Amino acid sequence: MIQFQAIGHAETPYSDIANMPIQGAGLTDNQGQLVITPQYAEGLDDLHEFSHIYVLFHLHRSQPGALKVTPFLDTVERGIFATRSPKRPNPIGLSIVAIDRIVDNVIHVRGIDLLDGTPIIDVKPYIQAFDNIPATRDGWYERGMKPTETLSDRRFG
């Protein structure tokens, strides 16, 4: 058995998956906060030097689904691991957000796409030298719908 304990939670304008952005970074400027449990606040030291962070979180309102889904940005059924659907065998989410500022144990961010109250599992700095891989392929997404014009709906709630 693998167990994780949340290190905090998200405070966002989204109480329901309907009409929430399907991805944050670069697609939305929505603001929110990652409230880190005070016992982990010391771990935020030096994070302010980075512009962006990865946020790993528990998809706490999602139930595991089928191994094939029709993603928001496509009309064709795809294998779950070739999508970013929240209905995963292990309900773990990943987002990249921009840091606005850090005050005590609260990371103020832009580009958030999490439901209010989402448990935060971990935070890691985005490091361009490691994380920006040139000449990649985006699979079916290259032929998909426009992410800035597509919002989530209740299919994956």
**17-21, 68-72, 109-113: least confident range:** 17-21
Mean pLDDT of the chain: 85
pLDDT single digits (tens) 138-149: 676 666 555 555
Cβ-in-10-Å burial (0-12, 13-18, 19+) of 29 comes to exposed
The one-letter code for the residue type at 65 is G
Q: What is the CATH number of domain 8-127+136-146?
A: 2.40.30.70
Q: What is the pTM of this model?
A: 0.84
CA distance 60 to 50: 28
Q: Are 91 and 115 in contact (CB under 8 A)?
A: no
Q: What is the pLDDT of residues 21-36, one digit of tens each?
A: 665 555 567 899 999 9
- H or E element in which residue 129 lies: helix 128-131
